[in-house]
Structure formats: structure tokens, C-alpha cells
Amino acid sequence: MQTITLLGATGSIGLSTLDVIARHPDRFRVFALTAHKNIDALVELARQHRPEYLVVADKSNYAEVQEKARALGVTAEILAGEQALMEVSSDSRVTTVMAAIVGAAGLRPTLSAVQAGKRVLLANKEALVMSGQLFIDAVNQSGAELLPVDSEHNAIFQCLPEQFQYGQPETSGIERILLTGSGGPFLTTPVEALEAVTPEQACAHPNWSMGRKISVDSATMMNKGLEFIEACWLFGLEPEQIQVVLHPQSVIHSMVQYRDGSVIAQMGQPDMRTPIAHCLAYPERIQAGVEPLNFAALTDFSFTTPDTQRYPNLMLAIDACCAGQSATTALNAANEVAVEGFLQRRIGFTTIALLNRRVLESIQPQELYAIDDIIAWDRECRQLAQQYLESLEQA
């Protein structure tokens, strides 16, 4: 029996995780559910899944959670704040933590699970992108079991040989990792028309249903850029060992190319319940509620190279990956500010890349020795990004 803390329970990944968990009451028990602002959803999930703890990240929502929980007969103990998120992630009764908070806010709670040596199911890619080596060092020190939920990294993990050694793809005969991406909703939109696209259009992903931040990142392909960096850290790869391939149908979720010419791909429906179930049950396989692929219905199956003009954010991320940790942390911070600004209609879609580039161009490399340094640097870069945002704001 695994006892699970679900960080970000009310989000897209959180709900898919609970869907899989509910199919296997013999295997999984929910220990804690956490959310930021969506109190009604959190309390309703608590009624269904009966966790021992409910945690609301924003302390100002505590009284409301208490009141609503009482009204629904929810008996879970209610906690609030970042410290409480860290406590339910590291509690000795917990075996497994699903890290599905979006953005930098997930860093400390996710690391807390890592430091406590849990089985950590990582969806929150920003946490790893921000902290890189420090995150991986913490995994190695505590003996935590880190499993990738992000569909591409989960696919790569499934295509690697069992004896794969971190940082040594050559010893397993691996030539490169082919990281696939759909190209998002603007794959064929004329580049000149991108400035005027709306948040609604950006969030209407053709294949995947996801939270708003990652949906915008998919439209700009910053998501693929963050995933590029994520792949380097998860598997110990050099940037030259990863190639991004556009595959608009999202049937192949990534591939591993071997020296002998073999390419191993993982395929499936674009439904996050598959990688979530894979991580939850690893190394076993369980029902995820996902239909198998119907090959007779697959008409198109195509691949191209991403257009650098259409996706400047992808290139910024690859450059930052080569530049090092202070650049990737800065880029992640700038991008969170820029995406929020776009979602609030303060800046246009193409200004996201402009703002990200400005931040990257105006910073100096930093030595980041500890998580507190990372968090301070993240804050500094956000302030810089906010200043640029104000100067670039639409009239």
C-alpha cells in the first residue's frame, strides 16, 4: 500500500492522479491533498478521497477551508502555508509524493519530499529547471526515488535500458534522445499573426488538456525548452545529446536512438493518466482508464524540425541550458512573469519571448550554492522581469 501526498491536487495533473488512484483502492491511500486558491474544489476532493490532511498554500484561505470542510462533513486536519506543504511532503507516514504544483512555488515542497527520501513523482518541471544540480544532489543524498511524470520524460524513461547509468548514455549504446513536441496550437498560424493571438487561443491545445501556464508554454514551445533542460538533469545528458522533433499528432511521446540504428519510441493516447499510472505503480503496470491506440484510425503520422522564428523561446531555453544554472533559473522566472502578463492581457503573445530574452541578456552568471541562493536569484530575476513587463505593457 502506498500512502500519497498530492501537491497541487486541484490542477490538471492532480485530478488525473486522483482518477488513477481511485481505480486502485487496494494499492493507494491519499494522505494529504493540497491546493492554492480553489477551495471549493479542494474540499470536494477531500469529501471524495478522505485524506488525513488538507493543505491550502495561501494562509489567507485557511478560515474559508475550515468552514467549507465542516459544511461538507470533511474531517481531515486542515493546515496552511508553505511550511505545511513541506510537512505533508516529508511526513514519515508518506511513501509517495506527486509533485504537481505549477511553477517555482513547487520547489520547496518538492525538495522536502526529495530530502525525506520519498518516491517522488515529478510533474513540476519548473522545480527541477530552477534548481538542477542541487535537486539531483538531494536525490542522491537521500536515496529518494525520482520518477518522471512529464509524458516525454516518462517515455524516455520507458525506452531506456534497465542498466542505464545516469550521465552515461554512451555506455548503453545510446546516441541521442529525440524529444517530441506537437508544436502547439500555432503550428501553422502565420508568424505575423502571432502577436494578436489571445490567451483563449493559446490555451486551446490541439491534443492535450492542461493547466493554463503549461498551455501557454506549449504554444510558445517554452514548454519543450523547459523539458530540454529537465531531460538533461533527469538523465544526466549533454545538450548535444538531445534533439527536438515536431510530431503534431502527439502519439509518440519521445524516443531513444541507439548506436546500431534502432530507435525505440513510447506511444499512447495523449492522456496524462498513462505516465501517472506508470509512475504510481512502477515497476508494475496498472489500469489507467486510458483507451489503447487505434492504429486503424491514425491517418497522419508526421515529423518535422521546429522553426526557430516561430518558436524563439525554445532556442532561448536551449541557449540557457548551455549557459548554466543561473541562466535557466532566470529564464524560468522571467517566463513565469511573462506568461502571467500574457494571461492577464498586459502583453502580447510574442512579447513573452522578447521579455525572456531581455532578462537573459541583462544578467551576469551567478554561483548558486544552496536552495536559498536559488530562491533569492529567482526573486531578483522576477523583479527584473516585472520591470520589463511594465515597460513593454500594451497601451
Q: Which residues bind ligand NAD (CB under 6 A)?
A: 8-14, 35-36, 38, 57, 100-102, 105, 123-126, 150, 208, 210-211, 213-214, 272
Q: In degrees to the nearest 10, what's the CA dihedral of 353, 354, 359, 365?
A: 70
DSSP string, 338-353: HHHHHHTTSS-TTHHH
Distance CA 217, CA 124 (A): 13
Residue 391 annotated in ligand binding: no
Site residue total, Mg ion (CB under 5 A): 3
202 makes contact, choosing from ligand NAD, Mg ion, none, with CB < 5 to 8 Å by partner type, with: none
Which of these, 191, 246, 184, lies nearest to 214 by C-alpha position? 184
Residue 87 binds Mg ion, judged by CB under 5 A: no
Q: Where does this chain touch Mg ion (CB under 5 A) — which range of 29-37, 70-78, 86-94, 144-152?
A: 144-152
CA distances from 239 to 145, 167, 173, 247, 326 (A): 24, 12, 17, 20, 16
Q: d(Cα 170, Cα 40) in Å, to the nearest integer? A: 50
Residue 150 annotated as part of some ligand binding site: yes
Ligand-binding site membership of 13 (annotated): yes
Among 52, 87, 150, 378, binds Mg ion (CB under 5 A): 150
- The answer to whether 192 is annotated as binding is no
Q: Residue 262: left (phi > 0), alpha (psi -120 to 50), or beta? A: beta
User: Known binder of ligand: residue 332?
Assistant: no
What is the C-alpha separation between 45 and 51, in angstroms, rounded? 9
Q: How far is the CB of 335 from Mg ion (least distance, A)?
A: 15
Shortest distance (Å) from residue 381 CB to Mg ion: 23
In the bound state, the residue with its beta carbon closest to ligand NAD is 11
Nearest of 339, 334, 361 to residue 349 by alpha carbon: 339
If the CB atoms of residues 63 and 204 are measured against Mg ion, the closer one turns out to be: 204
Residue 13 touches which of Mg ion, ligand NAD, none (Cβ within 5-8 Å per kind): ligand NAD
Determine how many CB atoms are found less than 10 A away from the CB of residue 356. Answer: 29
Q: Which residue is nearest to Mg ion (CB)?
A: 150
The reply to whether 124 sits in an annotated binding site is: yes
Residues in contact with 327: Cβ distance below 8 Å, sequence separation at least 6, in sequence order: 319, 320, 321, 360, 363, 365
188 labelled ligand-binding: no
Q: Are 209 and 12 in contact (CB under 8 A)?
A: yes
Q: Please enumerate, by residue number, every residue annotated as part of a binding site for NADPH.
A: 10-13, 37-38, 124, 126, 211
Q: Please enumerate, by residue number, every residue annotated as part of a binding site for Mn(2+).
A: 150, 152, 227
Q: Which residues bind Mg ion (CB under 5 A)?
A: 150-152
Q: Please enumerate, by residue number, every residue annotated as part of a binding site.
A: 10-13, 37-38, 124-126, 150-152, 182, 205, 211, 218, 223-224, 227
